[in-house]
Amino acid sequence: MENFRFYAPTYFAFGKGSEKSVGELVKRFGGSKVLLHFGGGSIKRNGVFDAVTASLKEYGIPYVELGGVLPNPRSGLVYEGIDLCRKEGIDFILAVGGGSTIDSAKAIAAGVPYEGDFWDYYSKGIPVTEALPVGTVLTIAAAGSEGSPDTVITHENGMLKRGGTGEALRPKFSVLNPEYTCTLPPYQTACGITDIMVHVIERYFTNTKDVEITDRLCEAVLQAMIEEAPKVIANLNDYEARANIMWSGMVAHNNIVGVGRAQDWASHNIEHELSALYDCAHGAGLAVICPAWMTYVYKHDVNRFAQFAVRVWHCDMNFANPEITALEGIARFRSFLKSIGMPLNFAELGAKEEDIPAMVKTMGLGEDGTIGGFVSLGNKDVDAIYRLAL
């Protein structure tokens, strides 16, 4: 096990009616004037906007609205939000929505006290050490941004999709009411489940030995998803399944299932080019890329993939030939993704073979750059993984 630090001080209020505590929580964490940040109009239709603003009013907290966050959130609205916060003297950002809205809120929070261009944090990989406090009211179970220090933004100049991070970005509080996720259609629900599972998988495949507790915690989240996903796809209003998935999204990404080990993250990097270029859902892109990545790298550690197959997918171990078990695990993962309605290849996603060279180039690895903590991948490998996903 590697040395590590773990600090996840987000306050979670979970369950029915939890959105009523927003005003109390903004006050507890020092907010006196709020930027209320959101996406499209769905939060005004499903009641969460009314509940949140009522709670803010109850505690006498003024707010300024900034809607319009798109999936794969863009830099333009971030710049607008930074200007608005400075002009209005805002000291707390409240994101109401899914991962895109939260990521956009984090970018604004980082940008307000920063003298330079907020994009520095994304393009140069500088950790964010100072930011306005952020709170969230989550309405989509997927990104785990409600409990993580991470944010992903697409810059409209070149459509570059890049991640930023920093402890200052971890939300002070997050309010999770699974009822508000029940209006999410099956496809978007499945995209979220895929994202949650791949957040775990990025941490699971490691070269660090002897991290049994973290292995088991990873397997726990994956098994819970395998159990709950079919229930919610069959019945979108299954509160219990929605609740399990929503909390799993947080557990999958606050790093409690990732400490003490090197992590991979190649699939996320490779996928980001897809969703940047085609504006597809991140989870759908991961469903195409992650199994292809597995097929490309599994020989690096056949026994680890066999463990994945046996413990997560309950395959019988082929002791004479563990490679057969390893491949069976990947096959079951693909079948599962297909069963919940995810695309498995470029054609199903609407991506094109001829764009591969451009995506490899935009990733910006150059001659010698690599991604991936489990298997180190250069341009040629990334190209090959895209082609395995055709």
**Shortest distance in whole angstroms from residue 222 CB to its own copies:** 9
Q: Which of 92, 247, 308, 313 binds its own copies (CB under 8 A)?
A: 247
Subset of 121-180 contacting its own copies (CB under 8 A): none
Q: Is residue 3 involved in binding its own copies (CB under 8 A)?
A: yes
Q: Which of 58, 156, 210, 279 binds its own copies (CB under 8 A)?
A: 210
Q: Which of 109, 132, 217, 342 binds its own copies (CB under 8 A)?
A: 217
**Shortest distance in whole angstroms from residue 181 CB to its own copies:** 13
Q: Is residue 260 involved in binding its own copies (CB under 8 A)?
A: yes
Q: Which of 82, 138, 232, 243 binds its own copies (CB under 8 A)?
A: 243
Report the half-sphere exposure of 125 (CA within 13 A, side-chain side): 0
User: Tokens in use for 71?
Assistant: 């999936």
Q: How would you class 89 by CB atoms within 10 Å of its CB: exposed for 0-12, middle for 13-18, buried for 19 or more?
A: exposed
Whole-angstrom CA distances from 67 to 94, 104, 169 are 12, 11, 20
How far is 205 from 298, CA to CA, in rounded Å? 10
Among 226, 230, 246, 228, residue whose Cα is nearest residue 182: 246
The residue type of 265 is W
Report the residue number, 16 or 57, with the smaller CB distance to its own copies. Answer: 16
Whole-angstrom CA distances from 32 to 20, 25, 85, 102, 169 are 17, 11, 13, 19, 19
Q: How wide is the angle at C-alpha 161 spanned by C-alphas 155 and 163, nearest 5°?
A: 105
**Shortest distance in whole angstroms from residue 29 CB to its own copies:** 11
Report the residue number, 154 or 214, with the smaller CB distance to its own copies. Answer: 214
Count of residues that interact with its own copies, criterion CB under 8 A: 43
Q: Is residue 307 involved in binding its own copies (CB under 8 A)?
A: no
**Shortest distance in whole angstroms from residue 259 CB to its own copies:** 7
Q: Is residue 223 involved in binding its own copies (CB under 8 A)?
A: yes
- CB within 8 Å of 283: residues ≥ 6 apart: 142, 190, 191, 192, 193, 194, 195, 198, 342
Report the residue number, 10 or 75, with the smaller CB distance to its own copies. Answer: 10
Subset of 66-85 contacting its own copies (CB under 8 A): none
Subset of 180-209 contacting its own copies (CB under 8 A): 209
Q: Which of 69, 251, 292, 371 binds its own copies (CB under 8 A)?
A: 251
Among 130, 156, 152, residue whose Cα is nearest residue 199: 152
Whole-angstrom CA distances from 311 to 223, 276, 355 are 9, 34, 37
Find tokens 């791949």 and name the residue: 198
> Is 366 in a helix, a strand, or coil?
coil
Q: Is residue 319 involved in binding its own copies (CB under 8 A)?
A: no
Subset of 6-45 contacting its own copies (CB under 8 A): 6-18
How far is 287 from 229, CA to CA, in rounded Å? 14
Q: Which of 58, 130, 240, 353 binds its own copies (CB under 8 A)?
A: 240
Other CB atoms within 10 A of residue 123 CB: 14
Q: Is residue 230 involved in binding its own copies (CB under 8 A)?
A: no
**Shortest distance in whole angstroms from residue 122 CB to its own copies:** 26
Q: Which of 55, 136, 148, 244 binds its own copies (CB under 8 A)?
A: 244
How far is 143 from 122, CA to CA, in rounded Å? 18
Determine the interface stretch with its own copies among 52-60, 235-243, 266-274, 373-381 (rule: CB under 8 A). 235-243
Among 119, 97, 116, 113, residue whose Cα is nearest residue 163: 119
**Shortest distance in whole angstroms from residue 196 CB to its own copies:** 10
**Shortest distance in whole angstroms from residue 52 CB to its own copies:** 17
**Shortest distance in whole angstroms from residue 53 CB to its own copies:** 22
Report the residue number, 17 or 62, with the smaller CB distance to its own copies. Answer: 17
Residues that bind its own copies (CB under 8 A): 1-18, 209-213, 215-217, 219-221, 223-224, 227-228, 240-241, 243-244, 247-248, 251, 256, 259-260
